[in-house]
Structure 1
């Protein structure tokens, strides 16, 4: 039987009045605020914070590749990272104290690429383009695995090391509502009510981490291009230099 139009109108008016009362009272009735924020999502937004964290870590670990960009503060120094990473290496750039250098790791072999100014400043020989710095300008310099620079810089090219170190929130986990990052709906995780960092997790497709604010103002990073492959090959021989001794580091 078709409902009488006046009956539908009365019910609509009553529903609107109830919603208004709920807003004033701070109660919040289901359906009064419009669409379900988790409708059409991957469903992780309805999970407890600990399970969301578990799901996003599993998604990140299983992804073949990722692009991360942003700032990381470590040992009192700020590093600006723009890196593409996968399980067998990574490539990109790092900026620290106004100096930018490129990193490339293919398997176990790490290369550092920078201009003469970087090497001149790092080596401190004052010879500029006339010394060793000029020979290294714009070249891929092999970093020996036993060199202190290898340990210092290879972590920037290691997907597992970076994600294990970054995707950790400190303190009691909680959710902090639905948000959006670059047009993608997210659920936000917090550690220690935000003092232990915040992490936005995608509600669309796989629950990948999309944006991280580290605890204590130790940097902000964005994550994108999850699972998108990229070429990772050894540089050409004529573009490679074997430094032959311990590398200088700035």
Structure 2
């Protein structure tokens, strides 16, 4: 009888879909989650990208390498809050550190005199740099820097560039990002690395962290859906870039 009972318990444990600790197995890492950890890796990535697009706002922080072909990329450190109609935050590169603010199509850049007066005459000399120091400088839509700088403040453009992994996808380990349970998706390309994407297992499957292929940066994403104030600078804090240095080009480092 004991042998039969023991066999029955063993059969019950082996027949359970989840590994219950009472049967001597490990705890199911997907128990109590949104379930995406059990999906195919391509599906996890698709759900993360869809959730990111639908979110009203997000906070991104980390480093990105742009134009990295041939090892000639430029590194940027970003700390941006973005939503559907604009964004605000700080960008740091070898050209210096500056703040960006965009509401609709109106884009402003704020930096100190050192950034504006880089010694190449790009902004019209020290006099113009002094006028621009600490002011919100409106970037004309026709300036070569406008589209590049706007990209840092465009939620969908920035996320689309960050969230696509390269190569063959595989489901990785369960992990945590900022205390939130997550599932990792790995990308493997011809060079052996296609980046990684950590996706939330709590609530909406938001992307929480992305490591770009080839060491081209890492960005953490959070505060999904958390609104923030976004308004144009006061007139006394604004300067028309075209009026400060006619024909000038904003020194983004390119």
TM-score range normalised by the length of the shorter chain: 0.7 to 0.9
CA RMSD of aligned residues (A): 2.6
Match status 1:143 vs 2:139: yes
Q: 1:73: Cα distance to partner?
A: 0.6
Distance of aligned partners of 1:43 and 1:121 in 2 relative to their CA distance in 1, 3 Å threshold? same
* Equivalent position SS for 2:48: helix
Q: 1:123: Cα distance to partner?
A: 5.1
- Count of aligned residue pairs for this structure pair: 231
Kept in 2, the 8 Å contact 1:41–1:204? The answer is yes
Q: 1:151: Cα distance to partner?
A: 1.3
**Which residue in 2 is equivalent to 1:35?**
27
**Which residue in 2 is equivalent to 1:218?**
216
Equivalents in 2 of 1:80, 1:33: separation in Å?
Answer: 44
**Which residue in 1 is equivalent to 2:70?**
none
Equivalents in 2 of 1:106, 1:233: separation in Å?
Answer: 7
Distance of aligned partners of 1:127 and 1:48 in 2 relative to their CA distance in 1, 3 Å threshold? closer
Equivalents in 2 of 1:108, 1:126: separation in Å?
Answer: 22
**Which residue in 1 is equivalent to 2:162?**
166
Equivalents in 1 of 2:122, 2:101: separation in Å?
Answer: 26
Q: 1:98: Cα distance to partner?
A: 6.6
Unaligned 5+ runs, structure 1 = 20-28
* Equivalent position SS for 2:63: strand
Normalized against structure 1, the TM-score is what? 0.85
Equivalents in 1 of 2:141, 2:123: separation in Å?
Answer: 27
Equivalents in 2 of 1:247, 1:232: separation in Å?
Answer: 26
Q: How does 1:1-250 map to 2 (within 5 A)?
A: 11=6, 30-31=19-20, 32-75=24-67, 76-97=73-94, 99-121=96-118, 124=121, 131-192=127-188, 195-244=193-242, 245=246, 246-249=248-251, 250=253
Equivalents in 2 of 1:132, 1:190: separation in Å?
Answer: 49
Distance of aligned partners of 1:123 and 1:104 in 2 relative to their CA distance in 1, 3 Å threshold? farther
Distance of aligned partners of 1:125 and 1:207 in 2 relative to their CA distance in 1, 3 Å threshold? closer
Distance of aligned partners of 1:178 and 1:162 in 2 relative to their CA distance in 1, 3 Å threshold? same
Unaligned 5+ runs, structure 2 = 68-72
Equivalents in 2 of 1:134, 1:11: separation in Å?
Answer: 84
Equivalents in 2 of 1:33, 1:105: separation in Å?
Answer: 53
Normalized against structure 2, the TM-score is what? 0.84
Equivalents in 2 of 1:134, 1:114: separation in Å?
Answer: 11
* Equivalent position SS for 2:118: helix
